[in-house]
Structure 1
Amino acid sequence: MSRFSPFASSSGPWDPSHRLETSWLLPPALLAAVRALFGIYIFITLIFVIAWDCEQASLGGCATAGDQFSYFTVLTYWGLAFYFAVAAVHTATYAFTGAALLDRFPRALQHLHALFYSTVTVFPFVVTAVYWGKLYAGPWFPVMFDAWRNVSQHAMNSGFALFEIVVARTVPQPWVHIAGLITLLALYLALAYITRATKGFYVYSFLDPAQKGGSGLIAAYVFGIAVGCALVFAIVQGLIWVRRWVTETKLGKDGKFAHADRQAVDIEMVQPSKA
């Protein structure tokens, strides 16, 4: 691994220059505020959608609202909400003390946070591509609420992910994260069929074996989404590499650090390279 990797050895610091809590563009306090703002918006959207659905008695009311938790779109949107909330806390503690709360976590949880980062920079693009490419058939939503809900969950989600790719100082993540992402997709597939068994409906029509093409077409869709997920991960890796090359190598913007953290860059630069 390069000297810029936050994934240090078990005896060294986790993220020597706090790449997960800093930006090349925004000071840490402002980055924490933006992440918190994104998290608040996503939480408000999710809660408002639940409340709205509960009020629509003719459409099933709160039973329909509960069905939302069977949809990959909604689950990944909750993931975004919690990521930004957690990331805001870690960034704020770094901004005001020079040491992120994440630094005090067990190494296993630090690795899980890195995987969390990979999920929120990959799954939103998968959701956006599948929804607008496969599920959305038009015409545009006649009810403004439906338009807002779908734009928030199927378009702005990718905008939030792009912010983390472009503005943060993160490095390309370990390629083993692909296995973690595919495992999460497999677990969701199991949830989708549990929903069919317990609630009697398919969350996505292409998972129905009664459709034209049967099980073979389902396998093709599932395989295609898994391959697409791996491809998106590779593209995200490339975008992060390009952002680092442009901002750090070409523009010389090493990052904006907390006042209490004067040795951030120096500590990272002297870390020995890991094979």
Structure 2
Amino acid sequence: MSKRRPFAFGTDLWDPSDRFETSWLLSPWALFCFRALFALYIFTTLVFVLAWRCVNEIDHCAAARDQFSYFTTLTYWGLGFYFLAAAVHTFTYARSGRSLLDRFPRPLQALHSALYTTVVVYPFVVTIVFWGRLYSGHWFTLEFDGWSNISQHAMNSAFALFEIVVPRTNPPPAVHMLWLILVLALYLSLAYLTHATKGFYPYDFLDPAKQHAFVAAYVFGIAVGALIVFGVAWGLIWLRKFITEAKLGKEAYEDLELSGPRTSR
């Protein structure tokens, strides 16, 4: 991506040292196993939550469908699909020395990079907003509620931290801040569309009848918070790269005899 043309996909070689599929700490096969395990846990959680709500909630499957109006649920699905895609790309790299991602068109490669950025930012935003603003302070009376909230509002950040610390990814480009805000704006539209079509706000701080002018403060605050989290994630990735590569001299942990970084397609 050119610094003079931040919105261009670029024509240079994509990820020549396979940073998205390798780790300074784990072998490609071990990284694949962790990512596949995380994807399995996330999708199992999502499906079980939907099924449980269909069976146990008063509105049955209507309550389950309402879950798709919540930013928590949508970001958790995004986390699951990221780990599924990342596991596939890591598997193909571990098996052949060249990932499936490397064979994709450049726009899809750029979208994978943008998805990675959302994975290392949004889970922390969800965790902070939930435990700082939405959590009542009383532990959940049902084991299901406790487990589902820990899975979606705490383990999500643990998964994100794994992607910050363990792979060899570069810090995300600054232009991704725009996409983070754009996605938040689209979700805000979905929240008010939910109220218009279903009669409820996914989060009470978006209700102008209750919060009045504070709605704008909440929206602005979350947007700024997302950019701050982006900055912290960027710094942590840079620090990891500096410590592991510049100071410790650790490149990719390889268990394959590969020919080295690619120089051509």
Residue from 249, 259, 263 that aligns with 1:262: 259
Q: Report the residue type matching 2:133 in the other structure.
A: K
Q: Does 1:65 align with 2:64?
A: yes
Q: Does 1:174 align with 2:178?
A: no
- What is the rounded CA distance, in whole Å, between the counterparts of 2:134 and 2:248 in structure 1? 42
Deviation, 1:9, is 8.0
Deviation, 1:260, is 4.9
Deviation, 1:191, is 0.2
- What is the rounded CA distance, in whole Å, between the counterparts of 2:257 and 2:230 in structure 1? 34
Q: Report the residue type matching 1:80 in the other structure.
A: L
Q: Is the 8 A contact 1:98 1:258 kept in 2?
A: no
Quick one: structure 1 residues 11 and 208, their matched pair in 2 at CA, closer, same or farther if it must change by over 3 Å?
closer
Match of 1:162 in 2: 161
Match of 1:42 in 2: 42
Q: Is the 8 A contact 1:178 1:233 kept in 2?
A: yes
Aligned counterparts, 1:68-217, within 5 A: 68-212=67-211, 214=212, 216-217=213-214
Match of 1:253 in 2: 250
Unaligned runs of 5+ in 1: 2-7, 269-275
Q: Does 1:33 align with 2:27?
A: no
- What is the rounded CA distance, in whole Å, between the counterparts of 1:88 and 1:220 in structure 2? 39
- What is the rounded CA distance, in whole Å, between the counterparts of 2:232 and 2:36 in structure 1? 26
- What is the rounded CA distance, in whole Å, between the counterparts of 2:79 and 2:50 in structure 1? 17
Q: Is the 8 A contact 1:124 1:157 kept in 2?
A: yes
- What is the rounded CA distance, in whole Å, between the counterparts of 2:81 and 2:11 in structure 1? 29
Tell me the TM-score normalised to structure 1 length: 0.91
Deviation, 1:243, is 0.4
- What is the rounded CA distance, in whole Å, between the counterparts of 2:159 and 2:147 in structure 1? 16
Match of 1:238 in 2: 235
Unaligned runs of 5+ in 2: 2-7
- What is the rounded CA distance, in whole Å, between the counterparts of 1:246 and 1:109 in structure 2? 30
- What is the rounded CA distance, in whole Å, between the counterparts of 1:210 and 1:16 in structure 2? 53
Runs of 4+ in structure 1 off by over 2 angstroms are 8-12
Q: Report the residue type matching 1:33 in the other structure.
A: C
Deviation, 1:137, is 1.1
Q: Is the 8 A contact 1:83 1:117 kept in 2?
A: yes
Tell me the TM-score normalised to structure 2 length: 0.94
Worse overlay, 251-260 or 61-70: 251-260
Match of 1:55 in 2: 55
What is the number of residues matched between the two proteins?
A: 258
Quick one: structure 1 residues 103 and 145, their matched pair in 2 at CA, closer, same or farther if it must change by over 3 Å?
same
Quick one: structure 1 residues 258 and 108, their matched pair in 2 at CA, closer, same or farther if it must change by over 3 Å?
farther
- What is the rounded CA distance, in whole Å, between the counterparts of 2:240 and 2:21 in structure 1? 16
